[in-house]
Amino acid sequence: MKRIRTGDQYLVKQINKSIVFETIKEKAPISRAQISKETSLNKATVSTMVSELLEDSFIYEIGEGQSSGGRKPILLYFNNHAGYSIGIDLGVNYLLGILTDLKGNIVEEMRVDLLETELSYVTDQLFTVIQTLIDKAPESPYGIIGIGIGVPGLVNQKTIITFAPNLKWKHIDLKEIVGEKFQLPVQIENEANAGALGERVYGSGIGIANQIYVSIGVGIGTGIIINNDLYKGSTGVSGEMGHFTIDMNGKKCSCGNRGCWELYASERALLEAAEQMNLKTDLSFLLNEAKMGNPKVLQLLTTLGENIGYGLINIINTFNPSVIIIGNRISMFQGWMTNPIEHVLKDRLSIYQGQEDQIEIRYSNLNHYSTALGATSFSIAHFFNKKI
Ligand SMILES: [Zn+2]
């Protein structure tokens, strides 16, 4: 018989502990006996792992559950207040910070407008937001466990922001800057990737293995979830689908290409079209006018919806996802975009015809929190990976 080396035993123990913990997180309240049944781990192993998790303060036990006779089982719960995490959505012209418990429930939030994009200005604002949230965190065994930041730019495997065109940043090590200041673990991720994860873990994409998150703000970013995992590409910068060519002789884009999707289907595209019609270039104004039935605005939104649809055709043909989630600020117009999008897909996408129930277009239900929640979920996952 092959002997198990000590290192392997340690690994097996870590895996078992993690399985027990995940089961409690997902199925709580749950008894030790139920965990054993769910996981096929023997009762002694479950009991040992539960004791360690109790000691770590990651779970707690209370009360007596229902039992068919005999001793009533004690039920275990995930202690989502064992620590708190900070999630930041660093936008081009705003900064949203949230303080969450370990389940992603928002406890505090703070939003500031960014009037400049210069690094030292932005980091000053960032430090203020983070410090304010830290000061507001309730007492807990682990305190602030880390900071996750979603940024509007390319983030490579070494978590360096290689390029953030709208902020005009190149090769910025924000992880180092923030980590140095607060002496906490920091995770940096592209905003659309963070948003995709936010939807996957907490939002419209819970339980969906193959989904694409389309973040439509000033530009368009996309986050790709394949088989439940974020797909990041070989150097970490996948998902630049806003720069799909939808008009090969079209307008010139700052990325160097022509006719990119985001030039026709983003918030910026909507505002430019509004300007050409002599309408006020303001999203809340356009939303109000749409509600009042202003025909010019309704026409703009129909065109926008159709243009979004043309890009979605490329995404669906490439990935065959079961769900596409449209998020970020443009989703405020969902009531006016749904029909034009559907119309384009039905008209032009053969695999969609008769399969409408298999490719679903959804909208973010996290409002404007997708990226911040995704960022906090990176931070929480990193914490548990280290601790368990
Ligand atoms: Zn482009």
In the chain, where the domains are located: 6-78, 84-196+370-387, 206-365
The stretches in the chain having pLDDT less than 50 are: 1
Q: What is the pLDDT of residue 211?
A: 96
Question: Ligand 1 centroid to 248 CA: how many Å?
Answer: 11
Render pLDDT for 232-258 as a digit per residue (tens, 0 to 9).
888 888 888 999 999 999 999 988 899
The dihedral sign for the CA sequence 308, 310, 314, 316: positive
Question: Ligand 1 centroid to 257 CA: how many Å?
Answer: 5
CATH annotation of 84-196+370-387? 3.30.420.40
Q: What is the pLDDT of residue 350?
A: 80
Residues, Cβ < 5 Å to ion ligand 1 = 243, 253, 255, 257, 260
Render pLDDT for 190-212 as a digit per residue (tens, 0 to 9).
999 999 999 999 999 999 999 99
Check if 6-78 and 84-196+370-387 are the same fold.
Answer: no
Question: Ligand 1 centroid to 231 CA: how many Å?
Answer: 21
Question: Ligand 1 centroid to 240 CA: how many Å?
Answer: 9
Q: Tally Cβ neighbours within 10 Å of residue 11.
A: 12
Instruction: Please state which of the four CATH numbers 1.10.10.60, 1.10.10.10, 1.10.3720.10, 2.60.40.10 is assigned to the domain occupying 6-78.
Output: 1.10.10.10
Q: Please, how many CA atoms are within 13 Å of residue 43, restricted to the half-sphere of its CB?
A: 4
| CATH superfamily name and code, 206-365 | ATPase, nucleotide binding domain (3.30.420.40)
- To 10 degrees, what angle do helices 43-55 and 6-27 make? 80
Q: What is the pLDDT of residue 236?
A: 80
Q: What is the pLDDT of residue 166?
A: 80
Q: What share of the chain is helix, strand, coil (3-state, %, to 5)?
A: 45, 20, 30
Question: Ligand 1 centroid to 258 CA: how many Å?
Answer: 6
Question: Ligand 1 centroid to 254 CA: how many Å?
Answer: 6
Question: Ligand 1 centroid to 18 CA: how many Å?
Answer: 43
Nearest CA to 54 among 34, 24, 26? 24
Question: Ligand 1 centroid to 92 CA: how many Å?
Answer: 17
Question: Ligand 1 centroid to 242 CA: how many Å?
Answer: 7
Residue 75 phi/psi, 5-degree rounding, is: -100, 145
Question: Ligand 1 centroid to 261 CA: how many Å?
Answer: 7
Question: Ligand 1 centroid to 121 CA: how many Å?
Answer: 27
Q: What is the pLDDT of residue 356?
A: 65
